Each structure stands twice: as structure tokens, then as C-alpha cells.
């Protein structure tokens, strides 16, 4: 299950039942407050890959996870690594670029990706050859995508690769906004993003006025429908992601 919602007693019962199945006994669960409308229906799908990097033939999995993945780092171990190596440590975002627009680790590399399928091309583009000998920390929302990504990076010559154990969620639970994270966390439900504390700052840039925001909307021109950062002041029923879409919308 990617995510589940419900009353706290119901969710605890679900977790208990899931862990009662031996292969899922050690499955980690991440908790957060929701609205009760985050997941309106159950969806069960069979996929060749849990994350669609289009690298199924390359990846190998055993009972411990992805074979050859990066070294797992707990939040406190990440801080120890940064303390030891300082600015040599490179944070590498394993999410889509639009997710990183509202929150990321400070000074992180954000690859030019719109879907996970774009990562292999990015890694093989030569853009990141200068960091192949540096300690690279991959991270993602919950720790799944960066497990796969760290393996793909090692297979392509990155020498010292780590993965954030439990992802951004576990880091935020530990350090909230008093650590190396900045902004809010993009999530794939009706909430769109979550904040770790009241100190959280908006780092996203409104496409219309250039002000800071974490608010995503879909482009009002339906054939486009792309996500676009639009602040509350600029949000209208006809807010689009570009001038081109605005012109198309005007003639409808």
C-alpha cells in the first residue's frame, strides 16, 4: 500500500493486520495528519516496477530491498556525514522537479525531470560527472524512489552514494524545520503539500507575480492542465501556466 487514511484506531488496525503477514512484518509506516478526503478510493495495480524508472532489466531485488543500492542514512547519521565532509556532500533530489520547487534540502541538485523515466537520461547526460567521486545523498519523499535511484547511480560510476532512510518524511519528523531542509513537502493527495512546523517557509515562485508560495494549481486551459505554482493573490478560475495557455483560453 502506498498510503491509507482513516480514523486513528482504524489505521492502527490496518497496520497491525498488514504486519501480521510475514513478508510485511518489517514494513515501515509513516504517519501524518490528513483531512479525511485524501484518498477517496482504493486502487490496486500490478506493475513491473514499484517506481517507473524503466530500469526493470537492470534492477535486482532481494529480501533486503534493491541490490546494490546506496548506504542507508538515518537523519542523525546524515548530520554526522555533513559534519565530517562539509560542503563536499552533495544532496541529489530523487523526485520530479516540480516537487522540489516547493521544498528541498539546502543547495541540493534538482535534476531536470518531470517523471521518474527521465532520470536515466539525466544520469547519462554527463551533467553530473563532476560529483561522481563525492559523497552523494539521494533523497525522496518516503525513501522508495531514492533506493532505486541510488542503485542506478552506482551502476553509472558514482562512487560514494547514500540514500535517506525513510525519506524526507522521517527527516522532517526528526528535525522539522531546524535542520537542512527548506520549504514544504509535496505530496500526492488532496493536501498537495505538508509542513513540518510553523517555521516552514514558502520557497516556490508564483508563475504570475514572482512571489513566494507553495500553492499548486492546475492550468485552467484544460488541454494543458499542467501543475503551476500560483499564489493565493493571483489564483483565479482562469489562471494558466503560461501566456500561450492564457491566449488559448481567451478564445474558448
Q: Is 140 a catalytic residue?
A: yes
∠ Cα 76 80 85 (to 5°): 145
Report d(CA 115, CA 95) in Å as an integer. Answer: 8
Name the DSSP letter for residue 70: P
Q: Closest Cα partner for 223 from 197, 201, 241?
A: 241
Q: Which residues contact 93 (CB under 8 A, 6 or more apart)?
A: 99, 100, 104, 105, 108, 109, 110, 111, 139, 140
Question: Where are any strands of DSSP class E within the chain?
Answer: 61-62, 65-66, 71-73, 90-93, 103-105, 135-139, 160-164, 181-183, 185-186, 193-194, 204-205, 212-213, 216-218, 227-229
CA 237 – CA 123 distance, rounded (Å): 39
Q: Which residue is catalytic, options 140, 146, 219, 241?
A: 140
The set of catalytic residues is: 140
Amino acid at each position: 500500500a502506498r498510503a491509507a487514511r482513516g480514523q486513528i484506531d482504524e489505521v492502527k488496525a490496518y497496520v497491525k493486520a498488514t504486519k501480521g503477514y510475514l513478508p510485511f512484518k518489517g514494513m515501515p509506516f509513516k504517519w501524518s495528519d490528513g483531512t479525511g478526503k485524501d484518498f477517496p478510493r482504493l486502487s490496486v495495480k500490478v506493475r513491473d516496477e514499484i517506481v517507473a524508472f524503466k530500469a526493470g532489466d537492470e534492477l535486482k531485488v532481494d529480501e533486503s530491498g534493491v541490490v546494490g543500492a546506496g548506504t542507508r542514512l538515518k537523519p542523525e547519521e546524515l548530520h554526522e556525514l555533513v559534519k565530517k565532509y562539509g560542503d563536499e556532500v552533495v544532496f541529489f533530489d530523487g523526485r520530479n522537479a516540480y516537487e522540489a520547487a516547493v521544498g528541498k534540502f539546502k543547495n541540493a541538485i534538482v535534476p531536470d525531470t518531470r517523471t521518474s523515466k527521465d532520470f536515466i537520461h539525466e544520469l547519462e547526460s554527463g551533467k553530473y560527472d563532476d560529483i561522481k567521486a563525492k559523497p552523494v545523498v539521494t533523497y525522496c519523499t518516503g525513501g522508495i524512489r531514492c533506493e532505486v535511484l541510488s542503485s542506478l547511480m552506482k551502476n553509472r560510476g558514482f562512487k560514494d552514494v547514500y540514500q535517506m532512510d525513510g525519506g524526507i518524511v522521517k527527516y522532517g519528523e526528526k528535525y522539522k524545520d531546524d535542520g537542512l531542509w527548506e520549504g514544504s513537502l509535496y505530496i500526492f493527495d488532496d493536501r498537495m503539500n505538508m509542513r513540518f512546523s510553523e517555521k516552514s517557509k514558502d520557497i516556490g515562485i508564483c508563475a504570475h507575480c514572482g512571489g513566494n508560495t507553495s500553492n499548486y494549481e492546475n492550468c485552467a486551459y484544460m488541454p494543458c492542465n499542467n501543475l503551476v505554482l500560483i499564489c493565493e493573490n493571483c489564483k483565479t478560475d482562469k489562471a494558466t501556466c503560461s501566456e500561450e495557455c492564457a491566449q488559448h483560453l481567451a478564445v474558448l
